[in-house]
Copies of this chain bind each other. A is one copy, B any other.
Amino acid sequence: MDRREILQMLALATVALPSLGANSSQAHVKFDPTAPKPRFVMLVHPDMVLLDLVPALTTFALTMGEVQLVWKNRQPVPTDVGIPITPTAVFGEVQAAPDVLFVPGGLRGTTACMGDDEVIGFLQRLAPSARFVTSVCTGSLLLGAAGLLQGYRATGHWQSREALTRLGAILAEGRVVRDRNRITAGGVTAGLDFGLAIAALIRDEEWAKSIQLVLEYAPAPPFQAGTPAGAGPEVTKLVSDLLKPSLGPLDQAVEHSRARLRQ
Residues of chain B with a CB closer than 8 A to A189's CB: 55, 192, 215-217, 219
Q: Flag A1-26 by CB within 8 Å of B: 1 or 0 each.
A: 00100110011111111111101111
Sample of 25 A–B contacts (CB below 8 Å): A6-B242, A10-B242, A14-B80, A14-B107, A15-B108, A25-B78, A26-B47, A51-B55, A55-B189, A61-B81, A67-B82, A83-B85, A157-B216, A187-B214, A187-B215, A192-B219, A193-B219, A193-B220, A196-B223, A206-B234, A210-B225, A213-B228, A216-B226, A216-B227, A219-B221
In angstroms, Cα B17 to Cα A47, docked, is: 10
In angstroms, Cα B255 to Cα A227, docked, is: 46
Q: A197: CB under 8 A from chain B?
A: yes
Given contacts A61-B81, A82-B17, A196-B223, contact A216 B187 (CB under 8 A): yes
In angstroms, Cα B78 to Cα A18, docked, is: 11
Residues of chain B with a CB closer than 8 A to A176's CB: 220, 222
Q: Are B214's CB and A82's CB within 8 A?
A: no
> In the complex, which range does the number of interface residues on chain A fall in?
35 or more
Q: A50: CB under 8 A from chain B?
A: yes
- State the oligomeric state as a number of copies: 2
Cβ < 8 Å to B, chain A residues 66-113: 67, 76, 78-86, 106-109
Q: Are B196's CB and A213's CB within 8 A?
A: no
Residues of chain B with a CB closer than 8 A to A3's CB: 238, 242
Nearest chain B CB to A75 CB, angstrom units? 9
Q: Are B10's CB and A239's CB within 8 A?
A: yes
A231 partner, pick from B21, B137, B209, B228, beta carbons under 8 A: B209
Measuring CB to CB, which residues of chain A are less than 8 angstroms from any residue of chain B?
3, 6-7, 10-21, 23-26, 47, 49-51, 54-55, 57-58, 61, 67, 76, 78-86, 106-109, 137, 157-158, 175-176, 186-190, 192-193, 196-197, 200, 205-206, 208-210, 212-228, 230-231, 234-236, 238-239, 242-243, 246
Give me the 7 closest cross-chain CB pairs, A-B, nearest first. Answer: A187-B216, A20-B82, A218-B226, A209-B225, A219-B219, A17-B82, A24-B82
A81 partner, pick from B58, B76, B217, beta carbons under 8 A: B58
Residues of chain B with a CB closer than 8 A to A15's CB: 47, 80, 108
Q: Are A218's CB and B227's CB within 8 A?
A: yes
Residues of chain B with a CB closer than 8 A to A235's CB: 206, 209-210, 213
